[in-house]
């Protein structure tokens, strides 16, 4: 029996091509002297890439001298607990229909996760698209529909376009709780961190289809590290690793685009225009594990204040800062930026497991801990 063929996806899952790439990677890794003891550290920034790596077992198949450092590109994982608490607070207000992507529903808050709030009676609904939330608002004029706008630049435009559509229609019962964040800033924060040893980057493919490849120029120009923007299929990832290693072997540092079939060099003009129209950068934003990073989070502009849940409900950054400490013992921050492997977190498999997660990395389908647990059989090490 053969697996069904998905055009523009299946061709990039070809095991024969993967074998060839793995062999080429091995030769290149040997040529630059990378070994298990002294590996090349390549950070895949995006959680979707982390997921692919583990789903296809690439970490086990790849040459010993290549080590993947799992980066902070999982928007659920970097959500501080305070934001989850604020989601629950909004959802518990009378008349509110709180809509969210599925990934966010199980992340623990200080009191509850969204899924726990749902079972306690809050009207929380999972949606596939902000357009679905918009439709709920149209169909329920007597209810306040709030959409949890979560994600990096991949998802930011769709929320923006939805807000613009809501404005055009004059909807008064639709708002967005905006938690959109940007990729380049946390990468810079990581590169500035003296404890991080990174030799190269696998760049986020779908973020880049929105912002293009030039926002990463500083990585090569200022920090001298190669970055290859990659697709999500296994041969995309392997080809990108090969391109990074090739740059290292040749002593180059440049921004390269492996995912040219989807990523245009300058990004998507409509998306970028919508983002500029609807959002502005917050002076700073709190990231789980990275603390406050300047200009890394987006908020809805004043002209669209009617669609800003923070304004409507007087919550979050609208009221000033609220300091909610993370769960004790939770090392999500360190794991998420690659300082610790999931198995090195003292809670892994003990105080923290998928059934009873302490932090977002165990719950989010892209979190490194969830991936290790689910795919890599790492729990035996913990048990």
Distance CA 244, CA 246 (A): 5
CB of 175 to another protein, least distance (A): 18
Judged by CB under 8 A, the chain residues 113 through 132 that form the site for another protein are: 115, 125-132
Question: What sign results for the dihedral spanned by CA atoms 28, 32, 38, 43?
Answer: negative
Q: Residue 220 corresponds to which tokens in the numbers above? A: 């090569």
CB of 225 to another protein, least distance (A): 21
Q: Contact between 43 and another protein (CB under 8 A)?
A: no
Distance CA 289, CA 25 (A): 32
CB of 48 to another protein, least distance (A): 3
Window 176-195: contact mask with another protein (x via CB under 8 A): --------------------
- Which CB, 191 or 354, lies closer to another protein? 354
Distance CA 38, CA 41 (A): 9
Judged by CB under 8 A, the chain residues 19 through 38 that form the site for another protein are: 20-21, 23-24
Which residue, among 69, 53, 51, has the nearest Cα to 61 in the 3D structure?
53
Which residue, among 199, 245, 198, has the nearest Cα to 31 in the 3D structure?
245
CB of 11 to another protein, least distance (A): 6
Stretch that binds another protein, among 16-24, 33-41, 310-318, 324-332 (CB under 8 A): 16-24
Q: What length is written for the chain?
A: 383
Q: Contact between 140 and another protein (CB under 8 A)?
A: no
Distance CA 195, CA 74 (A): 21
Contacting residue, 40, 54, 174, 307, with another protein by CB under 8 A: 54
Q: Contact between 212 and another protein (CB under 8 A)?
A: no
Q: Contact between 374 and another protein (CB under 8 A)?
A: yes
Q: Contact between 360 and another protein (CB under 8 A)?
A: no
Q: Contact between 57 and another protein (CB under 8 A)?
A: yes
Q: Contact between 101 and another protein (CB under 8 A)?
A: yes
| Phi, psi (deg, nearest 5) at residue 150 | -120, 140
Contacting residue, 249, 262, 318, 327, with another protein by CB under 8 A: 262
Contacting residue, 87, 155, 298, 312, with another protein by CB under 8 A: 155
**H or E element: which one contains 248?**
helix 234-249
Which residue, among 126, 130, 127, has the nearest Cα to 159 in the 3D structure?
130
Question: Going by DSSP bridges, is the β-strand pair 96-100/124-126 parallel, antiparallel, or unpaired?
Answer: parallel
């Amino acid at each position: 029996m053969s697996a069904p063929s998905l055009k523009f996806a299946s061709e990039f899952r070809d095991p024969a091509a993967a074998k060839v790439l793995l062999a080429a990677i091995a030769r290149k890794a040997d040529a630059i002297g990378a070994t298990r003891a002294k590996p090349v550290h390549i950070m895949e920034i995006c959680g979707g890439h982390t997921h692919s790596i583990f789903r296809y077992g690439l970490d086990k198949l790849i040459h010993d001298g290549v080590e993947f450092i799992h980066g902070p590109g999982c928007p659920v994982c970097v959500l501080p607990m305070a934001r989850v608490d604020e989601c629950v607070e909004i959802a518990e207000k009378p008349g509110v229909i709180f809509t969210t992507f599925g990934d966010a529903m199980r992340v623990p808050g200080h009191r509850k996760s969204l899924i726990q709030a749902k079972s306690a009676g809050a009207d929380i609904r999972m949606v596939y698209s902000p357009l679905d939330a918009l439709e709920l608002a149209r169909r329920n004029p007597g209810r306040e529909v709030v959409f949890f706008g979560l994600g990096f630049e991949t998802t930011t435009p769709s929320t923006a376009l939805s807000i613009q559509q809501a404005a055009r229609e004059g909807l008064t019962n639709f708002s967005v709780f905006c938690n959109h964040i940007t990729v380049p800033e946390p990468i810079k924060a990581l590169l500035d961190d003296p404890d991080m040893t990174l030799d190269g980057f696998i760049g986020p493919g779908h973020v880049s289809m929105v912002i293009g490849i030039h926002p990463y120029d500083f990585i090569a120009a200022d920090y001298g590290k190669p970055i290859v923007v990659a697709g999500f299929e296994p041969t995309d990832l392997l080809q990108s690793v090969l391109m990074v290693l090739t740059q290292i072997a040749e002593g180059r540092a440049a921004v390269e685009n492996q995912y040219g079939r989807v990523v245009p060099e300058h990004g998507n003009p409509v998306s970028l225009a919508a983002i500029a129209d609807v959002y502005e950068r917050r002076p700073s934003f709190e990231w789980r594990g990275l603390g406050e990073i300047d200009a890394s989070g987006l908020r809805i502009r004043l002209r669209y204040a009617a669609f800003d849940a923070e304004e409507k409900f007087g919550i979050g950054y609208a009221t000033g800062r609220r300091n909610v400490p993370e769960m004790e013992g939770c090392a999500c921050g360190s794991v998420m930026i690659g300082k610790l492997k999931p198995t090195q977190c003292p809670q892994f498999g003990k105080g923290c497991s998928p059934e009873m997660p302490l932090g977002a990395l165990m719950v989010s389908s892209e979190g490194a801990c969830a991936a290790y647990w689910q795919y890599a059989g790492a729990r035996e090490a913990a048990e």
